[in-house]
Chain A
Amino acid sequence: MRALRRFFTRLFNVAARQSQEERLREEIEQHVALQTDENLRAGLSPVEARRQAMLKFGGVEAMKQDYRAERGLLFIENLLGDLRNAGRSISRMPGLAAVIIASLAIGIGVNTTIFSWIQMILFEPLPAVSGAANFLLVEPRTETGGYPGASWLEYRDLRTQVPALRDVVASQMVAFNVGERGQTERTHGQLVSGNYFSALGLKPAIGRFIRPEEAERPGTEPVVVISYDYWHTRFRGVPGAVGQKLRVNERELIVIGVAPREFQGTMVPLKVELWVPATMTPALLGGARDLEDRGVRAFSLIGLLRPGATREEAQTEFSRAMAQLARDYPQASAGIGGEILPFWSAPRGPQRLLISGLAILQGVMLLLLLAVCGNTANLMLARGSTRQREMAVRVALGASRWRIVSLVLSENMLLAFLGAGLGATFAVWGTTALRVAPMIGAFPILFPARVDEFTLAFAMLLGAACGLIFSAAPALHLARLDPQDGLRSSSNTPPRSRARKVLMGVEVGLAMVVLIAAALFLQSFHSARQTDPRFQPEGVLLAAYDLSGRNPDEASEREFAARLLEGLRSLPDVEAAAIATNVPLDLHGIPARPFTVQGRVRTEEGQDRAISNKVTPGYFKVMGIPLVEGNDFAGMHDKAAPPQAIVNEEFVRRYLNAADVMGRRIQTPAGSFTIIGVARNSVYNAFGEPAQPAIYFSYRDLPADQGEIHLRTRSGNETGLASEARAVLRDLDPMLALYDVRTFPQHIERNLYLRRIPARMFAVLGPLLLGLAAVGIYAVVSYAVARRTREIGLRLAFGATSGRVVLQIIRENLGPIAWGTAIGWVLSLVISIRTIPKSPVNLSVFIGVPAMLLGVATLACWIPARRASRIDPMAALRHE
């Protein structure tokens, strides 16, 4: 306690320095005066009296030192001094400081941006919900590893049977058609349980939320909560929005409240605009049996962990509850267990897709930052060496080694934190740029990433780490300095610094790895636009429709698709039309489903899987995929033909050995199908993917309630078709909206969006890093050359040609660079083989990048070497 008080007073005294000094001076004065008076009284002469008094008092300066040390905190005073000194010395090298701060800022900024995305997925899965880490996904799981969701009745049971979870909420993502007949708009909403908002701990922006009793009995309360954005775009943000009516799937719902601003539902990053009580399901979804049928597993569950309970407890209780349900309702629940998962390992949604990609990106970017650090260390080392004399003077005057180290450290730390601060600003800009991502696929997506205190702390931590890393070499170098040497040998033979060469090698090696990663990524990205997808996307218009709000049966789905196609084909500008459940090159991918095929016995464990798509007749014509064998599917109304399938060439090659393919039977969980044709291979999930086996099923056999319309135009003006297609759909059903209308090339571009962000990063950062490496090498070489002016002058005087001198300097420096390049090259080769197995090594990258790097490095050596070789030998020898 006492020590603490003393500490704070001392801390305060550091700030108020002047007045105290004055006080001490006066006190000493008075003390000596009193003693002198006393001595005078004792009969001494005035001069002697004062002398005696001074003697008695003792060494004034030594005492003053003690006093100062006692009063303030020496450590902090030194630190402030160091910082002032650092500021001064940085302002003396504005060019170098600018390069260092800017390169660090870019490195830290990029890393912080990526970290903010990762952090969003890991730690803030639910924006606007505080304590989101306590929420867990409650996922029933089938024996085959699928996550089918939970049924409403199951949810009601689970609410009470998992005591480790304080609350369980249920929600179901639905696409509503909102608005009056003929001008509906597709809007995403969630059907939610009554405790949804209260369990999430949300407060309405205005109005109120759904009450628990409003989600008890089916169809009672026609109420809806709208999102903050929806309130602003559709109701102009007026308070009067509460109480107004909204027509949703032809039912009138009353707006009762507005959700908080940041809240975007519980399926992040999908963005939800409407929340409706789950008990409205049958009324809104055409008599859906979600509420009474245990077989309809449409709800996603989220549990809030009770304080003190662990995920393991919840898991045990959940498994027990699911086992009990399986016994009670064998028909609906047999074989279904369950898992309690944190949000980031969600089995559905884009999180999973993103997190692994982001982790790799973060790794590469950390390497980039390390390369920047290496570069900075080089620059600082070169600069530090020129300050040997200054440091030698300091040491000679009595500065301790630690003081020298702390001097260098504070200078570098100041640089690092300036860089980190600027980097954090970049990150703010970067996360905002990500927020304006367009709709991806059929779903509106909003990444709620932002720069908060965590991300800021991360940026500062990176800054501190960088500062330490690039301080280490110069600080050690200077602290080991022998003052005598430092003072004496100002600029004649320099000590050959091994540290400098090692650093140069390390830096170049790191740069090599990052550059190769960048080049590989960029190349795969660009080849995506150039490679032939083996179908013809040009001139095709895509649009989606969704009957799920109608809760249709198979027959009506088939009928609807057939009539829609008829209507579309009658349009004069349509050359061919088809419907399919999946579009190639979609961000979400086309599902691969298990199957067995007649004539093949699988030897290994597990099941064969093939990409499967359901298409209508005419699909291959629209897509421009030729059938190499057999014919197109039978017509939609054909009732005679058996269930059909068309496979691709890769399927035949892999599973059937190309022998009498036609007529073989494929068995899937959905039934048995006869192969009636073989289609050419095409690209399904990604450009550059290895050929994949695929099965096409017919819409006639397996109709679906959602479909992607594919239209090939005659004139090539596919955008003009959109309004006509809309009209066709409206004639069929005025309540349905055609959504996600885009041309096929647009579809491809949009789905490359997530890859385009890192591609742009690399496109900017790659050359920048190359430039930085060049600057680093240039600085080191020109410094080393400058130190050897005399030696070079001697050589020239003895008759060496300038060409030889240049060659020698380049050879000396290129040695460590070549080593670094080689090690970096091998490293990236190993990484690339490990991370992307089965694909051929990209030779142009693995030869081109090192060639370029070595070329730039040679140039960076050549310029200072050339300058050095041009000096007049006489001037060089007289130098100093």
Chain B
Amino acid sequence: MVLKTLDVLGPLHGYGIARRIEQISGDLLAVNQGTLYPVLLKLEQEGAIASEWGASENNRRARFYRLTKEGRRQLRVETQDWRQTTAIIARFFKAKAEDLS
């Protein structure tokens, strides 16, 4: 989700990412925003995203995260994986008893 958000919106700070995830999920995913940071760190240490200090919209100092090349590749792979998974699950839901006979 973090990767996709960054892919769509470009470089963003932590608060922005949290807000965005809330908005997209229609506030269904209202987890503690704090848990985002360990995830961001993990992604950064894996090299999927990079970060640097910058100024936010209202001129606050904020740390901006952006997707790296490696991150884009990872996103592609995971998107595909996800599609495959959902497709399989979907087929299970579509399947009716008579289809199997």
Q: Spell out A's residues near B (CB within 8 Å).
A: 2, 5-6, 9-10, 23-24, 26-28, 30-31, 33-35, 37-38, 56-60, 62-63, 66-67, 69-71
Contacts and interface: CB of A to CB of B under 8 A. Distances in A.
Interface in B41-68: 41-42, 45-47, 56, 58, 60-63
Contact of B32 (A2, A26, A59, A69): A59
Contact of A5 (B33, B38, B45): B45
Contacts of B25: none
B82 interface: no
Nearest to A31: B15
A2 B73 CA distance: 12
B58 A37 contact: yes
15 contacts: A6-B45, A9-B45, A10-B45, A24-B37, A30-B62, A31-B15, A35-B15, A37-B58, A56-B32, A56-B33, A63-B37, A66-B35, A70-B41, A70-B42, A70-B45
A38 B56 CA distance: 13
A41 to B, nearest CB: 10
Contacts of B45: 5-6, 9-10, 70-71
Given A26-B63, A34-B15, A57-B32, 17 more contacts: A2-B74, A5-B47, A9-B45, A31-B13, A31-B14, A31-B15, A35-B15, A38-B19, A58-B31, A58-B34, A58-B35, A59-B32, A63-B37, A63-B38, A66-B38, A67-B38, A71-B45
Contacts of B37: 24, 27-28, 63, 67
Given A5-B47, A63-B38, A67-B38, A30 B32 contact: no
Given A30-B56, A67-B41, A71-B41, A57 B34 contact: yes
B83 to A, nearest CB: 21
Given A33-B60, A34-B60, A34-B62, A63 B32 contact: yes
Most buried by A among B19, B33, B58, B62: B33
B72 to A, nearest CB: 14
Contact of A30 (B13, B19, B31, B33): B13
Contacts of A27: 14, 37, 62-63
A37 B32 CA distance: 18
A30 B34 contact: no
Nearest to B61: A30
Nearest to B18: A31
B61 A60 contact: no
Interface residues of B, dominant DSSP: helix
Given A56-B32, A58-B32, A26 B38 contact: no
Interface residues of A, dominant DSSP: helix
Nearest to B33: A57
Contacts of A56: 32-33
B63 A23 contact: yes
Given A2-B47, A30-B60, A70 B38 contact: yes
Contact of A2 (B13, B46, B62): B46
Nearest to A55: B32
Contacts of B58: 37
Most buried by A among B15, B34, B41, B47: B34
Nearest to B30: A56
A534 B35 CA distance: 93
Contacts of A10: 45
B68 to A, nearest CB: 12
Contacts of B15: 30-31, 34-35
Interface in B3-36: 13-15, 18-19, 31-35
A26 B62 CA distance: 8
Nearest to A7: B45
Nearest to A69: B38
A447 to B, nearest CB: 54
Nearest to B32: A58
B75 to A, nearest CB: 13
A58 B33 CA distance: 7
Contacts of A37: 58
Which 8 pairs, one residue from A and one from B, show the smallest C-beta to C-beta distance?
Answer: A58-B32, A63-B34, A58-B34, A34-B15, A9-B45, A66-B38, A6-B45, A57-B34
A65 to B, nearest CB: 9
B3 to A, nearest CB: 13
A301 to B, nearest CB: 60
Most buried by B among A10, A57, A71: A57
Given A23-B63, A70-B42, A34 B35 contact: no
Contacts of A24: 37
A34 B46 CA distance: 27
A870 B24 CA distance: 83
A56 B18 CA distance: 11
A361 to B, nearest CB: 53
Nearest to A32: B15
Contacts of A34: 13, 15, 56, 60, 62
Interface in B67-89: 74
Contacts of B14: 27, 30-31
B20 to A, nearest CB: 13
A23 to B, nearest CB: 7
A72 to B, nearest CB: 10
A57 B47 CA distance: 25
A59 B46 CA distance: 25
A69 B33 CA distance: 18
A264 to B, nearest CB: 55
Contacts of B46: 2, 5-6
A35 B18 CA distance: 10
Most buried by B among A24, A31, A38: A31
Nearest to B44: A9
A70 B37 CA distance: 10
B66 to A, nearest CB: 15
A9 B44 CA distance: 10
A30 B47 contact: no
A19 to B, nearest CB: 13
A334 B61 CA distance: 97
A57 B33 CA distance: 5
A27 B13 CA distance: 9
Contact of A59 (B18, B34, B74): B34
Contacts of A9: 45
Contacts of A62: 34
A745 to B, nearest CB: 76
Nearest to A20: B41
Contacts of A58: 31-35
A37 B31 CA distance: 20
